[in-house]
Structure 1
């Protein structure tokens, strides 16, 4: 019953495709027992809108009419509609063989983005958060090679500076939100030069930051996702890469699985390769959060309640993907 706790749809995310119900139906058909829905939280400033949100070229909006440029207020309304739709789909499709968790993927752009995420969790009674960092110095780090290069230039071209700031930003996000799931732990490597040593092995200083972050996640019972979307982005392994995954395993940290799907065609994408990665690294069990039973701000969580999938490598789920 391998799980996926990180998903998006074109209905609520402009760089994804398909609608949310198609994602749910595909996950159920492929044999998932636990599906986490995690559309992006809103961004609250016009300057933080993505390219496809300000030049939509006649794309249909959520209601199916011709769309113009979005505003931050539109993103808030879209997120509200996402939560309502996700809860309706949960009522329609969930049964004793298929659990749907309603969550959100957060971001850390500035302090407001963190405080707003806490408020959204409380307001919408979300089951869980995927805590991610997509920006550094208020520049997107995973949107395009050009923007990554721009970010790297502001760091004096020093990749170690960029990585260090990324892991520091991640730590600050973890402290503010205590997300149940840590999203694509080493996303800072996505557009880094593949031949650079830091793409494979971190310096002792960076390793210390990673260990600090992992220790903090363990302190409240959070999980680090093994995220298969890295393969679609032509990385050699899923997030996190082996050097970081070894640290998590050595510390006894909790792991979970995610496809980070951006539409129904991405559901379980590269999961067969993820199974090989799990086997290679000696991962024999993964966790997933239990549904939220009471409203509680994310930053007040003491211990994340989870269920476990033991002997995950030999689970019959995988045979259905071959």
Structure 2
């Protein structure tokens, strides 16, 4: 049996909006029965205007130092706990700074021997789409409405996917985070989602079935059932992401991710290993290594 997550492993040690130490997060993953667990800390942001509220005390240099500290600690923990769990070390991208984000992400990727990259988009031209309902609403208004925001978001994710080709594409429909229960995308937006799925399929990307939306009360897991079903029809592999930000969220909600993958018609779930790359496991074999 295998139990895994690749988008998450954030810790308060290196992420200002998370909690716990990185070692505590790793120990929690072991306690929760994970066989494979990915650490994918947020990449640094390189402009003052891209700092989250409250990060001003850290500043740009502080974020860069924190990320370098994460890299050193994560690789050390990977070796220290190798007998207990297979840790994979990666990072989560931003499409920032807008003018040269690709150069920044490729430079970061080549600076260290990361096991994988999680491709994430959280902004439109430097304005957050998922920070608060108020900020998202203002952004939608400035862009010409909710549909315009969603079109801009999916076009941006497609651009990220086509240029960066990340190993895992994160929370595919994050832009619907603050939408009401029962929400569905318009036909125009659905066409952009199809284009995004085409781009993922073209290079063999894997999508993150991310339980953070469910866990935090923002509807079903990412992505919505109809998107996940379409991905399955296209042969796009799916994996787990707990999007944990401390020991209290390690693995929490992944059973809902598993159920969503089953409901979409998948018979197997993909998981990443250090020695053999991507592997597939029958859904019946995907569960924690031991009861907790």
**TM-score normalised according to structure 1 size:** 0.85
State how far apart, in whole Å, the 1-side matches of 2:275 and 2:220 are: 32
**Match in the other structure for 1:51:** 53
Is the contact between residue 240 and residue 254 of structure 2 (CA under 8 Å) also seen in structure 1? Answer: no
Pick one of 200, 210, 218 that aligns with 1:227.
210
Equivalence map 1:192-203=2 (5 Å): 192-194=179-181, 199-200=183-184, 202-203=185-186
**Match in the other structure for 2:43:** 41
Report how far residue 84 of structure 1 moved.
0.4
Is the contact between residue 170 and residue 207 of structure 2 (CA under 8 Å) also seen in structure 1? Answer: yes
Pick one of 99, 105, 130 that aligns with 1:142.
130
Is the contact between residue 228 and residue 261 of structure 2 (CA under 8 Å) also seen in structure 1? Answer: no
- Residue 320 to residue 284, structure 1, CA distance change in 2 (3 Å): farther
Q: Determine whether 1:9 maps to 2:11.
A: yes
State how far apart, in whole Å, the 1-side matches of 2:287 and 2:66 are: 37
After the TM superposition, which segments of 4 or more aligned residues of structure 1 sit over 4 Å from their partners? Answer: none
State how far apart, in whole Å, the 1-side matches of 2:190 and 2:275 are: 33
Is the contact between residue 181 and residue 219 of structure 2 (CA under 8 Å) also seen in structure 1? Answer: no
| Bigger mean CA deviation after superposition, 137-146 or 20-29 | 137-146
Report how far residue 98 of structure 1 moved.
2.0
State how far apart, in whole Å, the 1-side matches of 2:189 and 2:24 are: 40
| Bigger mean CA deviation after superposition, 25-34 or 214-223 | 214-223
- CA RMSD in angstroms comes to 1.9
Secondary structure of the residue that 2:42 maps to in structure 1?
A: coil
Pick one of 158, 183, 186 that aligns with 1:171.
158
Is the contact between residue 262 and residue 283 of structure 2 (CA under 8 Å) also seen in structure 1? Answer: no
Q: Deviations over 1:91-110 (max 9, x none)?
A: 10013x62111000001131
Q: Gaps spanning 5+ residues in structure 2: where?
A: none
State how far apart, in whole Å, the 2-side matches of 1:272 and 1:178 are: 28
Q: Determine whether 1:185 maps to 2:172.
A: yes
**Match in the other structure for 2:238:** 255
Aligned length: 289
State how far apart, in whole Å, the 2-side matches of 1:237 and 1:230 are: 6
State how far apart, in whole Å, the 1-side matches of 2:91 and 2:188 are: 31
Report how far residue 149 of structure 1 moved.
1.4
Secondary structure of the residue that 1:51 maps to in structure 2?
A: coil
Report how far residue 152 of structure 1 moved.
1.2
Q: Gaps spanning 5+ residues in structure 1: where?
A: 55-68, 294-304
Secondary structure of the residue that 1:278 maps to in structure 2?
A: helix
Q: Determine whether 1:160 maps to 2:147.
A: yes
Report how far residue 111 of structure 1 moved.
3.2
Is the contact between residue 33 and residue 290 of structure 2 (CA under 8 Å) also seen in structure 1? Answer: no
Secondary structure of the residue that 1:50 maps to in structure 2?
A: coil
Report how far residue 221 of structure 1 moved.
1.6
- Residue 140 to residue 316, structure 1, CA distance change in 2 (3 Å): closer
Q: Determine whether 1:266 maps to 2:254.
A: no
